[in-house]
């Protein structure tokens, strides 16, 4: 797989943007900051993943927490978190894709070694793979 760094740039005072493409997908990661309720500077990362034409032509339909909805003919809306900060100004997510993903979030936990690609719906190394069943 050939990866190309399309663009890397500094944004604002504390931010950084990185755009990477492998010919089928573009991935853009940007960093940012915000001030918590107690005025601490908190850092975060936003990730945007965009399929290119080659992604749709692949015989292995994408799966996983991000890829599985790419071929869906309609939006499947699952549980949505309410981002209300606690007294410390922190947010905690609980939705975990519930109702929008196939299976449960535990099905997507990597099994074995830290760099393993083994999980219930893994497509790594596959030569073909159907779209997810949304019925």
pLDDT tens per residue, range 24-68: 889 988 888 888 878 888 888 899 998 888 888 888 888 877 777
Q: Choose among 133, 76, 72: nearest CA to 100.
A: 76
pLDDT of residue 82: 82
pLDDT at 70 over 80: no
Q: Which of the pair, 118 or 5, is modelled with greater confidence?
A: 118
Q: What is the mean pLDDT of residues 84-102?
A: 83
pLDDT for 98 beyond 80? yes
**pLDDT higher than threshold 70 for residue 76:** yes
């Amino acid at each position: 797989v050939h990866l190309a760094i399309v663009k890397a740039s500094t944004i604002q005072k504390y931010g950084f943007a990185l755009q990477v493409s492998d010919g089928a997908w573009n991935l853009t990661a940007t960093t940012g900051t915000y001030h918590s309720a107690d005025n601490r500077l908190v850092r975060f990362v936003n990730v945007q993943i965009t399929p290119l034409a080659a992604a749709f032509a692949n015989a292995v339909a994408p799966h996983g927490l991000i890829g599985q909805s790419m071929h869906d003919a309609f939006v499947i809306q699952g549980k949505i978190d309410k981002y209300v900060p606690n007294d410390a100004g922190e947010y905690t997510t609980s939705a975990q894709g519930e109702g929008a993903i196939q299976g449960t979030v535990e099905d997507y936990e990597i099994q074995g070694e830290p760099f393993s690609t083994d999980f219930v719906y893994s497509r790594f190394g596959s030569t073909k793979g159907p779209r997810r069943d949304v019925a």
